[in-house]
Structure 1
């Protein structure tokens, strides 16, 4: 299967952090700060706030090395792992946090965001609903819930969620996702209008999104031109077959393709190009383009979240730094055997939690269906209360009851004057009724009078919920 780098730039595809023990070894740039840090969790929060999730994750892992049950550290580590692009590690942390606090809305929301990155929108939507029920403001989950709706093909709901985020702040990612969602639903004009402010600011990801918007709305030539304007030639050429197919996909398939590089027939997602603009672009800042590479994926050029090329020497230095455990934590770094055992235990725990979650979901679904059925029955009973009638005839073929009514009315005109015919099913036949009467006694009084006049009939009580149709 052809693999390209992710072109939207919404998430980092670097998988430098796979398990706690691998990331826990990352060193900090200024070890002198360790002596004055009173609250390591607060330091991790600060790192996240200034846009350094890798450092935040390393700090959270130090807390977890001392206290594996620290709820805030588990939740923070999950968010940080998700920010650096490791959804599997994020799920691991959030599942452990959920065990400790099963009714924590932050944990539900984080787990939902992680499942979005695993392309499981149905499960993610349930978790987002749970998070809101537990007190999380809807705007806090709207960005990823919108993506979940797009992956389900419900673009209208997705657009409402992105708009909710944008009413709070002008989040560039929300703007890009909203534009892509408009394009998925065929609204090219709105998509390009939404993107325009970011395009004017030379937002690299917005220019890539513009290529997708044009491709999804059928302008393949324009999409290829847009890709050529912002990508190196070899990457733009590799992207052409992808762009040519977008317009033919269903909305949900388009979402999977542009956000995850996943076509319907693919068993695993493709990775689309996340590249900086080519120097030939007149509208974007000039920058040196990486040369084509035929090396293995591990040796391909790396780009940071802003689209800046990270040199291999810099990458090698970071890798070496990550492989060297800090001196202050050497005693707490687990051995490979302990790490492997912990990883196996975490995998078993995750499997157990998934089974439990499936059972809970099944139970919740059954309960919801039961309540829905009860509501429907109550509604039916309210619209069809217990009533009192008199049956004057019956027939197996319902459309012929009007003829039977004419026959009875001709034979007993005085007794049936002012009455209207009704019908209700009974076993294999249909009743021909008159009424309804005010009470069971009133129906019986009519029967007594009618029988004296030669009309064969008897009283009938229809229970609450029994539908009775008028014969026209």
Structure 2
């Protein structure tokens, strides 16, 4: 893989991260200041391989970095080359197991996870990926045991979302809702995506489609609706592949697993170890790049929604047009494309390549004479946001500097190019340590930021028209308050009807409490309140739940305008 290809992958991953700017959610105000995780590690590993193509440790590092960057096919190539040199290395087995899981070869993956564990890899280290492999063979019980181990050992919200999806697949509605609730209350778009999938799996198709319509642009919502209508018709393994990996079966395969998965038999006592030991070797030898199972990418969707009646669906196959995937053309419609506006993480390119990675063809940078010292010195900054539109960053600067509690006092706004976007920077600071201290103080008051050091010769531009941050923050026009969210929607007039319907069923619980609205991405939250404390809002949620009304607590930020719904 040429260095320019690695740079293209890194740039693409960075742009995906930037695409998530959808509203005033706290978790999305600031984008990671560094290149996508894995970029530097992959570049370093490639340079080591250019010096020694048989460096097993470098091959493993390159495979791990390729997985973090989302290039599963490249990862399989690196791990396959490493295994040919050191076939008993357990870290190679683990890497291949993770890659095979993401490329939908879960039976092979489970055998490799068991091999890695026998080689000394701790069960907790691989619990999250191993859990997904179990879900992809339809063994939700083993999967959920491992998700809980992963979460107990510090796994991020991705493991929690996959656990909730697995609970929905196994019919555990209460567990599904309880697992998602904290993330939903925090406004996590990915959690709402998982809830849409889970409700569709549980047969609540209309509720799932409403979430998609509320949270996505109309065109994207119409693209995903046919898939949501079919979710309850899929096998558990197919549901896991659709919800976790964004891969839907071909129309002819709906409700039918591949032979390899259909003949898989999980342990009756739910023992992960025994379930792995029951696996018989199958498929191509480890490290080979034989084609993955013939499970199609998500096919193009017809303009009309498919029928919900399974009998009609079986007879009316044109409702979902089936096309054979072209291995040389990866631009087909996929679940990822349909959910692109729903903050769905990018799907990896999982088509295995025709041969192992040719390490000797890697174009590693060569040493050259050191150029003259640049005029622009290295400097230290605090990055507070990113964005493509420089003028929009001016609005971001005014908002962030007002809410910084005086921590940015006297500092001016600057921008630095970052791919096709720009970093919004405060500074400069005398040292990297001083910048990190400011980041820590900003975090304590709820403002996300990152320390950033511009390299020698890197241009950093003053933000035109921006004023220095004030010494003291202006008092917020709207103080932080506690609310109960009872619905979401883009059409405020329709939300008025929703409020009247919900209030009638609330038996006086919402009297005098609304309605209020606040923007949320492309939609609006419908709120009742305000309540004196988060605990009081939580009690109201519980009382509404007893009446059969779904709701969530919501705390508005200082300065966040909450409007009365006319």
TM-score of the superposed pair, with normalisation by structure 1: 0.49
Structure with the largest fraction of helix = 1
TM-score of the superposed pair, with normalisation by structure 2: 0.41
- Higher-Rg member (1/2): 1
